[in-house]
Structures are given as structure tokens and as C-alpha cells.
Amino acid sequence: MTYSDRMTVLARLGFAARGLVYILVGWLAFDASRTGAEPSDNQGALGTLGDTALGHVILAICAIGFAGYAFWRLAEGALDPEARGRTNKGKFERVAHLVSGGANALLCIIAGRLALRSSPANHGSPGDESAQSWSAWLLDKPGGVALLVAVGLGLFMVAAAQALKAYKAGFDELDGDVPAPSYVRWIGRLGYSARAVVFAMIGWLLISAALQHDPTRAGGLGDALAELRAQPEGSWILAIIGVGLSLFGVFSLVEARYRRLRVPIPRTPTGLR
């Protein structure tokens, strides 16, 4: 298997971009728990960057980073350089890598468009409207209810994987023979725990939309955070999850520097120029 040093650098930049976005999402969620404002999702957080000094430059850098991260995840899923696809767990990981790659490719496009936009961006949670749109499209198709339930169950599986990673806190991807410091492990634990809660909530929203045949009940990250705030003691729950998401962003910045990774690229056939 051939690996690209340049694409590996871009993948690390992608981890940094992901970290910045999650820090913003977490802060906006924490602020919403105090003010009653609407929580934001990843796309909304990117929109807030355009209002800052050098925001368009930061967005352009984020777009490049997301492109590198997307290429790495797609390559991991398609090429399977570590031959993980031999087991059912490995097959699930490959599918998860492909989905992650697609999601980050979308973030790359969004960040790039925002970087080139001269007018202020719309904030909020554009991903929620998108989730409702494709849920409505799916529910109109034969077997759409079952498919949407399957997507929701898939997100529950992702949430379980995130929770398991938070529990084990191995983080073997970090460089060095010495285990990561305990405070880094706890930052990762809290971050992954918050992500597990959010993925589970998004999955529940999709299943609820399917069972009630009401696409308006579907939602993305923003609606999931709003649903958490609607629970008893919801302001406290949202504040805790917001802090957790920001800590996941911090952990992503640690990964940007110390994660052990290589980006595979297809081998060029010999004899071709």
C-alpha cells in the first residue's frame, strides 16, 4: 500500500478544523443553555466564523482541512489498508469511514462557499432542514419507513461505539509507547460521551419521524440539542453536553498533533507514466 505524506498533513489539518468546529458548537450549546437561544450545528458554527476577523481565511483553511480529512476517511473505507474488512466489526468500520468521509466532504463544500461569500452567512442549524428534507423524500418511497428506522438504528450503533470508546479510553491512535496522560484521556472520554448522547438523540428523532410518518420530527445536531434542552432539567443537560462537545473539539486538536495516521492512496500501475 502506498501512502501520501502531503495528504497526511492535510488530514491532520482536518482534525484541527473538526476541533475548531466542535469547540464552537459546544460553546454555542452552552450559551443557549443560559440564554434560551437556538443551539447550532456544525454548519451553523462554520457560519459564525465568517463574522470574525480573518473569518474567510479561517474558513478557507478549514475547507482544505476537511478535504484532506474526507480523502483520508474515504481512502480508509474504500482501500482498507489494514485489512479490517475481514471481520464484521471491520466492515462496519469501513462503512462508518465512508459515511464520515462523505460528511466531511460536505463540510468542505460548505466551508468553501462561506469563505467565498461576501455577505453575512445564515446561522442556526441548516443541517436540521436538510435532515427533514431527505426524511420526507425517503418516507414517500416504498419501504421508506423501514429504511428511515434502519438509519436511526444505525445511529444508535454509532452512539454505542462512541460510548464504548469513552468507556475504554484506550486512544491507541495517539503516538508513543507511553499511554496518553490521564487528563488527555479524560478529555477524550467526556468528549466521546457527549457525542454518544447526541448521536443517540438524532437516531431517536429519525425513528420517531418514521414511526409517526412526520418528517418534521426528524432533525440533525441542532434539533438533537434542542430536544435535550426540552427535557426536565434540560438547561443543565444542554450545558453539560455543550462542555462535552467542546472537550471533544480540544481532543481533536490533540489528535491533529499526535494521532498516528497515514493516508493511503491507490498504487500507480507499473509501466504507466
Task: Match 493511503 to its residue by C-alpha cell.
Answer: 264
What are the pLDDT tens digits along the chain (273 aa)?
Answer: 677 888 889 999 999 999 999 999 999 999 999 888 888 888 888 888 877 778 889 999 999 999 999 999 998 888 877 677 778 777 888 888 899 999 999 999 989 988 887 655 555 677 778 888 889 998 998 998 999 999 999 999 999 999 999 998 877 778 766 677 889 999 999 999 999 999 999 999 999 999 999 998 998 899 999 999 999 889 999 999 999 999 999 999 999 988 888 888 776 555 444
Show Cβ contacts of residue 271 under 8 Å, excluding neighbours closer than 6 positions. Answer: none
Q: Pick from 46, 52, 57, 39: which is nearest to 108 by CA?
A: 46
pLDDT at 124: 64
The DSSP H or E segment spanning 263 is: strand 263-265
- What is the residue extent of each domain of the chain? 2-265
Give the pLDDT confidence score for residue 271 in this predicted structure: 45
Q: Which pLDDT does position 29 carry in this prediction?
A: 93
pLDDT computed for residue 152 by the predictor:
93
3-state secondary structure of 50: coil
The whole-model pTM stands at 0.88
> Which long-range contacts does 153-158 make (Cβ < 8 Å, 24+ apart)?
153/203, 153/207, 154/203, 155/199, 155/200, 155/202, 155/203, 155/206, 156/199, 156/200, 156/203, 156/204, 157/92, 158/96, 158/199, 158/203
